[in-house]
Structure 1
Amino acid sequence: MSRPAISVKRVREDEQRPFTELWMSARVEAGVSPEVAARAASEGRVAAALGREDVRAYVAMADGRAVGFAVAATSPFSALTEAPCVTIDQLYVVPEARKHGVARQLMSAVTVYADSRGCEQIGCNVPAQHREANRFFARLGFSSQVVRRITTVSALRRRLGTDEQRTHSLEALLHRRRSLRARAAQSANRLAG
């Protein structure tokens, strides 16, 4: 059985539907409920991301259907360097199309994008628990450079013991009010954008 011909094209504003459907599938496969994924798409999260100048998305097609996507963004490698770097934020291939060269084709498109932006480095975000994805990137020459750890603000505050110190103070009350206002403003901006 021969492999289907794979074509990769940039996702344009008028061609977002196949990409959005794949993005929702990737979110569901990652453990997000279908309802939450659909709500995020309907709220314009995909359109907002694709509308940014520093973000580029590609969709891979095989036999007339979308089978994978890559999302890359250009930014400095770190806050203290000015050298631009393309970071692959997401790379996804539908399960039945994996191990057929789809991801390699998407990576080729990202490489051309990095060249066009004058970037000497390409980075990627790969969840530590995804062994196959880590192997794929390692085979392409990506090495582990940093480990990115994430926590919530409230969890860190508890661990640092600052919750107890600020519980009864006026400063704590003002801080909570500012945090609530900032979150409300972010939510309003997401809904408006």
Structure 2
Amino acid sequence: MEEPVSRPAISVRRVRDDEQRSFTELWMSSRVEAGASPEVAARAASEGRVAAALTREDVRAYIAVADGRPVGFAVAATSPFSALTEAPCVTIDQLYVVPEARKHGVAKQLMGAVSLYADSRGCDQIGCNVPAQDRDANRFFARLGFSSQVVRRITTVSALRRRLGAADEQRQHSLDALLHRRRSLRARAAASANRLAG
């Protein structure tokens, strides 16, 4: 008779100073899995981006540990839901679990820590940033009751300027064509009037 396989005990806690290195390594793994090159992820970490985020008052980072090994993290931030409302909202900026620890309750444990954080900040709502193409993450959040409220679209500044420039050129071309037609009509009307007068 086979013995049941027990799940490892998972503990979740706020990232401590002595865990920043472990957290940064997990963060770099998440960036690489999302498509960044290891070099780009390492450069971002070495520039102090992660360390700076962890010291911000409005940011809370949690690390999940199973069998003494870091297996996931969550990063949440408190801010108004939008620039025009005062109601605070906790937004889950990142939630990551290493592939071999998925489907073992790690993400749910991290979400539990985030919900307690939201309570402590007096927030009634929790939002999350989920890549549109990540079906597993979208399903996970949907199962927990998260609904789609907005679609966040992103472009580069240069791409936007190109598009705006193309739209301006199109408008200018249409305006030039309209003015040309008006001039032509006026010229024909003047020519007709001259013939009738002559």
- TM-score normalised to the size of structure 1? 0.83
Quote the offset at 1:13 in angstroms.
Answer: 2.6
Q: Secondary structure at the match of 2:127?
A: strand
Quote the offset at 1:153 in angstroms.
Answer: 1.3
Higher relative contact order (CA 8 A, sep 6+): 1
Partner of 1:7: 11
Contact 1:13 1:50 in 2 (8 A): no
Could you tell me how far apart the structure 2 residues matched to 1:143 and 1:156 are? 29
Contact 1:77 1:84 in 2 (8 A): yes
Q: Secondary structure at the match of 1:141?
A: coil
| 1:106 equivalent in alignment to 2:113 | no
| 1:92 equivalent in alignment to 2:84 | no
Partner of 1:24: 28
Quote the offset at 1:154 in angstroms.
Answer: 1.4
Quote the offset at 1:14 in angstroms.
Answer: 3.0
Partner of 1:182: none
Partner of 2:127: 123
2:146 to 138, 142, 166: 142
| 1:53 equivalent in alignment to 2:70 | no
Say which one has the larger Rg: 2
Structure 1: give runs of 5+ residues left out of the alignment: 166-193
Could you tell me how far apart the structure 1 residues matched to 2:99 and 2:147 are? 25
| 1:152 equivalent in alignment to 2:147 | no
Could you tell me how far apart the structure 2 residues matched to 1:162 and 1:50 are? 42
Name the Cα RMSD after superposition. Answer: 1.3
Quote the offset at 1:94 in angstroms.
Answer: 0.3
Partner of 2:78: 74
Could you tell me how far apart the structure 2 residues matched to 1:51 and 1:104 are? 25
Q: How many residues align?
A: 165
Quote the offset at 1:30 in angstroms.
Answer: 0.7
Q: Secondary structure at the match of 1:161?
A: helix
Q: Which amino acid aligns with 1:54?
A: D
Contact 1:13 1:47 in 2 (8 A): no
Could you tell me how far apart the structure 2 residues matched to 1:163 and 1:15 are? 50
